[in-house]
Amino acid sequence: MKIVDIHVRTFRYASCVIRDSEGHGHPGANHEARQSIVTIVADDGTEGTMVGGISQSVLDGLVKPAILGQDPFYRERIWQTLKERQRLNLSSLSDRVVAVIDCALWDLAGRALGLPVYKLLGAYRDKVPAYASTMCGDDLPGGLDTPEAYAAFAVQCRERGYPAFKLHTWQPPIPGAPDVRRDVAACAAVRQAVGLGVPLMLDPYHYYSREQSLYLGRELEKLGFAWMEEPMDEHSMSSYVWLSDRLDLAICGPETVEGKMHARAEWIKHGAADILRGGVGDVGGITPLVKIAHLAESFGMRMEVHGGGLANLHVLCAMGIPGQFYERGLLHPFVDYEEPAPWLNRIEDPMDDEGFVHVPQQPGLGWDFNYAHIEGNLI
Ligand code: MG
């Protein structure tokens, strides 16, 4: 089999999630948004698709020369080739772009062989417990504007079946943010509302100082939190070693720092985190995320996968380390997460009443695109 084409389709859809000046999503007025999907085509007509964009210049200049004519089953070789091309093209050939290509190749392989991706990887389970992952705090009355609002939303999520809850608290440009005391007040209100039995996690502002992060961590220890993510700039691994040395609370990371499995290996070696972290988009695809899961397992560490979506779900269902959650969201009291985006016939991660997300059993990643919408709204 040979790869004969790769193309990007970008289309319009109506969205009610707006981005603030620092890029965080919040509920807002309906407006036109854009989405892209990338499809790789083999010479027998088999296709593999992933959600995400690639610019035309990167597609023509870097991606096509690396993959056209290649056997799509040689995912490791293609991934290593793209990784090598990143060295002098980091600004354009990002890990997110490499991830889109890698995930599309996994989808193609699954479709060609008639198997869901998690079974190609080596299945461990068919469903994963989810946690409710909130949007960042806001100043919308009745939204996520006060500690009490987080508490009420946590109760609502528990009633929906979520076994665990993670707060993303207030970040600039929301007035008054960031503020560690306000973050602690929200965490305390949620703990009081749901009781001690519900695992709770915090993902706050990402540029707190060491002392602010230590204060947060010590307060979360009193509240029995399960972990804290990224309270400081992850480029300073030393700050995370400093923080982890001082806390019993589990620190989960790194999430956004560059460096794929190499960065994670350094964090393990230096004791910068207790729970390893990474998602397909952060590290360059399913191929490297599986390496990171094996790295965590080899060091006897837990791993929590960053972000939702089909590709992360398939990796979670192929990980043999028990206890991980699927990050479902981002959720907000004003947004109906169960309603599929216009370009999908159904949501990627349906959750049952016990709080389990089930991995699709269709070949490949299990996409169910609304092609009528996509083709009718092409840009
Ligand atoms: Mg996070």
Q: What percent of the chain has pLDDT over 70?
A: 99
pLDDT higher than 70, residue 65: yes
Contact 202, 250 (CB under 8 A): no
User: What is the distance in A from the centroid of ligand 1 to the CA of 111?
Assistant: 31
User: What is the distance in A from the centroid of ligand 1 to the CA of 377?
Assistant: 32
Evaluate the omega torsion of the peptide bond into residue 254 and state whether it is cis, within 30 degrees of 0: yes
The pTM for the full model equals: 0.97
User: What architecture is the 119-358 domain classified under in CATH?
Assistant: Alpha-Beta Barrel (3.20)
What is 3-114+370-376's CATH number, 3.30.390.10, 3.30.420.40, 3.90.480.20, 3.40.50.2300?
3.30.390.10
Q: What pLDDT sits at residue 323?
A: 65
pLDDT higher than 80, residue 168: yes
pLDDT higher than 80, residue 375: yes
Rounded to the nearest integer, the mean pLDDT of the chain is: 97
User: What is the distance in A from the centroid of ligand 1 to the CA of 360?
Assistant: 25
Residues 40-67, mean pLDDT to the nearest whole number: 97
Q: 154: burial class by Cβ within 10 Å (0-12, 13-18, 19+)?
A: buried
Residues 86-104, mean pLDDT to the nearest whole number: 96
User: What is the distance in A from the centroid of ligand 1 to the CA of 306?
Assistant: 7
- CA distance linking residue 330 with residue 166, whole number of Å: 10
Q: What pLDDT sits at residue 324?
A: 86
Contact 66, 82 (CB under 8 A): yes
Domain boundaries, the chain: 3-114+370-376, 119-358
pLDDT higher than 90, residue 205: yes
What six digits make up the tokens of 182?
């306000």
Please give the backbone phi and psi of residue 333, each rounded to the nearest 5 degrees, phi first. Answer: -55, -25
User: What is the distance in A from the centroid of ligand 1 to the CA of 255?
Assistant: 6
335-350 pLDDT, tens digit per residue, is 999 999 999 999 999 9
pLDDT higher than 80, residue 12: yes
User: What is the distance in A from the centroid of ligand 1 to the CA of 342?
Assistant: 26
- The region that residue 304 occupies, defined by phi over 0 for left and psi between -120 and 50 for alpha, beta otherwise, is beta
In this structure, how many other beta carbons lie within 10 angstroms of the beta carbon of residue 141? 8
Quick one: which of 147, 137, 134 has its CA closest to 175? 137
Q: What pLDDT sits at residue 377?
A: 98
Residues 51-57, mean pLDDT to the nearest whole number: 96
pLDDT higher than 70, residue 158: yes
User: What is the distance in A from the centroid of ligand 1 to the CA of 126?
Assistant: 24
Evaluate the omega torsion of the peptide bond into residue 199 and state whether it is cis, within 30 degrees of 0: no
Contact 255, 240 (CB under 8 A): no
Q: Do domains 3-114+370-376 and 119-358 have the same CATH topology?
A: no
User: What is the distance in A from the centroid of ligand 1 to the CA of 341?
Assistant: 23
User: What is the distance in A from the centroid of ligand 1 to the CA of 51?
Assistant: 20
